[in-house]
């Protein structure tokens, strides 16, 4: 209304000066520039608010979110003050003002915020942290005020007594003050702190702020104190049961073949987030479409796991000699893994994916969070198995073991820093680098000697089976175990190492032959 009134008065003044015989051309250009600048600033300051005029549809229930049972229970308990406000008030409990969801990417933080709005029957508005920050000072603070105002307005319009404002990637705007060269960041954060801490947060409708980040360590301390974000809920990677729950949700409505074993697939996908599991099921369906099949088989899921982990198959065409060496390398990994952890080899492939010319995928027995010195030593043995298999067969090694050496070195350093080496308990901060390097080299040399002795009886068998792997390109774990059982060296070699079944302290995809020189 004000804009139309100002434009009308301006036009009237131009006409008045024109009637008086004055030259209005300079005034006309100045007025046009002023109006253009005004419209540009108005559009910059209101664009995000206009985009969020309609509340986001949030018909997502907690039952639709798998693998986060602990986080869901904690969040639902925190949200009960919105559902049972009278009972909360009778106990004198202060309403929560903010809930911060932290955790790795793809674990379902945004879905949990939408489910919270459904659970509490609240209006749901969402924004990203980057939407509040502009190069113009004061714009971000105005947008913070605007989104809170719209949350209350929409709640009243829909006859709801609560609203949830969800800010994704809040670390963009909520980082520690004073670390940015631009004052706009600090002003935007100050306004957010004011909105969350002011008396307006207790009015009806009540506005609850939910935010998500995978970098809580860089947030400003004033934002994390009680009275602002009263609850911090960890949304972590799902365990085996959680992965199985997510897979069951994702495969609903999809035609599955009879051989599909979701429990086995949940074991294979150790370390996967909810987003990766959704992508896995989708990729398996795409493979079925590509092959013109009406059902999704277990083999398609296996290929989809490889694609999510390593990427699509590349167009690289290694020579026959290179393929033979890659096969020998991967069989070396597989033999050590199977002898030390029976039943853990899922499959072997020499099909190039991503930066790897081949790899062995393992299945951990169960999710594990603590590891003994024997388990770490066994994993070092598995990492060194590839290059030592090459050495036994060819008499030399290749550059393909670079990633294996990095992995083995990291595990050895972990042993030293955790007090599992000859040095005993050490202070990492005051440990001399020369002492650390000497102990790491000792650990690696001892495990290299042990691994070489385990593989030595299999030298000829590895060469013969490598021909079969080159022809087939991919070998299932069961087929590999059947071959290993037919060899005459298994009973002798297993005495050299402990046969305790353990899990991987790192990601289950190991032994990839890299391309780096």
What is the DSSP secondary structure assignment for residue 200, as one 8-state letter?
A: G
H helices present in 160-239, as ranges: 171-174, 183-197, 221-224
Beta bridge partners of 509: 361
Beta bridge partners of 166: 126, 210
Closest CA to 334 of 512, 496, 491, 467: 512
Please report where in the chains the tokens 């509040």 appear, as a residue.
Answer: 132
User: In 10 A of CB 98, how many CB atoms?
Assistant: 25
420 with 373: CB under 8 angstroms?
yes
* DSSP H or E segment with residue 287: helix 274-290
Q: Would you call 330 a catalytic residue per the annotation?
A: yes
Give the total residue count for the chain: 517
Helix (H, G, I), strand (E, B) or coil at 348: strand
Dihedral, 463, 469, 471, 475 alpha carbons, nearest 10: 160
Please report where in the chains the tokens 């992995």 appear, as a residue.
Answer: 407
Closest CA to 438 of 451, 423, 419, 418: 423
Helix (H, G, I), strand (E, B) or coil at 225: coil
Q: Is the dihedral of CA 242, 245, 250, 254 positive or negative?
A: positive
Please report where in the chains the tokens 């150790």 appear, as a residue.
Answer: 270
Burial class (CB in 10 A: 0-12, 13-18, 19+), 367: middle
Please report where in the chains the tokens 């000066």 appear, as a residue.
Answer: 17
User: In 10 A of CB 80, how many CB atoms?
Assistant: 15
Contacts of 72 (CB under 8 A, 6+ apart): 62, 65, 112, 115
Question: Among residues 330, 338, 439, 450, which one is catalytic?
Answer: 330
DSSP strand pairing (359-362 vs 509-510): antiparallel
Query: Longest Cα pair distance anywhere in the chain, in angstroms?
Result: 112
Long-range contacts of residues 132-136, Cβ cutoff 8 Å, at least 24 apart = 132/48, 132/172, 132/173, 132/188, 132/192, 133/172, 133/173, 133/184, 133/185, 133/188, 134/44, 134/184, 135/182, 135/184, 136/41, 136/44, 136/184
Positions marked catalytic: 330
């Amino acid at each position: 209304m004000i804009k139309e009134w100002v434009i009308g008065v301006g036009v009237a003044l131009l006409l008045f000066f024109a009637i008086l015989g004055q030259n209005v051309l300079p005034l006309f250009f100045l007025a046009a520039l002023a109006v253009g600048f005004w419209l540009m600033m108005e559009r910059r300051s209101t664009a995000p608010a206009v985009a969020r005029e309609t509340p986001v549809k949030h018909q997502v229930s907690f039952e639709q979110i798998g693998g986060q049972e602990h986080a869901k229970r904690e969040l639902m308990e925190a949200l009960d003050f919105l559902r049972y406000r009278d009972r909360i008030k009778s106990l004198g409990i202060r309403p929560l003002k903010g809930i911060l969801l932290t955790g790795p990417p793809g674990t379902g933080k945004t879905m949990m915020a939408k489910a919270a709005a459904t659970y509490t029957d609240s209006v749901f508005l969402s924004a990203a942290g980057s939407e509040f920050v502009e190069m113009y000072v004061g714009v971000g603070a105005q947008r913070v005020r605007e989104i809170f105002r719209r949350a209350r307005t929409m709640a009243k319009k829909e006859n709801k007594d609560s609203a949830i404002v969800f800010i994704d990637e809040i670390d963009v705007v909520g980082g520690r003050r004073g670390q940015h060269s631009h004052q706009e960041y600090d002003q935007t954060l100050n306004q957010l702190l004011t909105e969350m801490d002011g008396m307006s947060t207790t009015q009806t409708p009540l506005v609850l702020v939910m935010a998500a980040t995978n970098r809580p360590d860089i947030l400003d301390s004033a934002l994390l104190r009680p009275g602002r974000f009263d609850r911090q809920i960890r949304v972590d990677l799902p365990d085996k049961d959680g992965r199985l729950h997510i897979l069951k949700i994702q495969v609903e409505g999809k035609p599955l073949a009879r051989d599909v074993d979701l429990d086995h697939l949940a074991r294979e996908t150790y370390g996967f987030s909810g987003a990766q599991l959704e992508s896995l099921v989708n990729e398996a369906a795409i493979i079925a479409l590509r092959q013109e099949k009406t059902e999704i088989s277990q083999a398609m899921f296996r290929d989809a796991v490889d694609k999510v982990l390593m990427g699509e198959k590349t167009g690289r065409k290694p020579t026959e000699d290179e393929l033979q060496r890659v096969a020998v390398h991967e069989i070396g990994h597989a033999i050590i893994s199977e002898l030390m952890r029976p039943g853990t080899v899922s499959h072997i492939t020499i099909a190039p994916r991503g930066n790897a010319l081949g790899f062995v995928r393992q299945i951990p027995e169960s999710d594990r969070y603590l590891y003994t010195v024997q388990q770490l030593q066994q994993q070092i043995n598995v990492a060194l198995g590839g290059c030592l298999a090459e050495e036994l067969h060819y008499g030399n090694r290749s550059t393909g073991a670079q990633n294996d050496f990095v992995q083995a070195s990291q595990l050895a350093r972990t042993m030293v820093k955790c007090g599992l080496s000859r040095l005993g308990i050490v202070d990492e901060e005051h440990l001399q680098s020369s002492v650390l390097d000497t102990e790491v080299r000792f650990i690696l040399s001892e495990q290299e000697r042990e691994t070489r002795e385990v593989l030595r009886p299999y030298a000829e068998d590895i060469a013969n089976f490598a021909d079969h792997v080159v022809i087939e390109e991919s070998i299932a774990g069961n087929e590999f175990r059947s071959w290993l059982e037919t060899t005459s060296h298994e009973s002798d070699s297993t005495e050299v190492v402990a046969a305790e079944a353990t899990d991987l302290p790192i990601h289950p995809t190991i032994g990839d032959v890299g391309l780096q020189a």
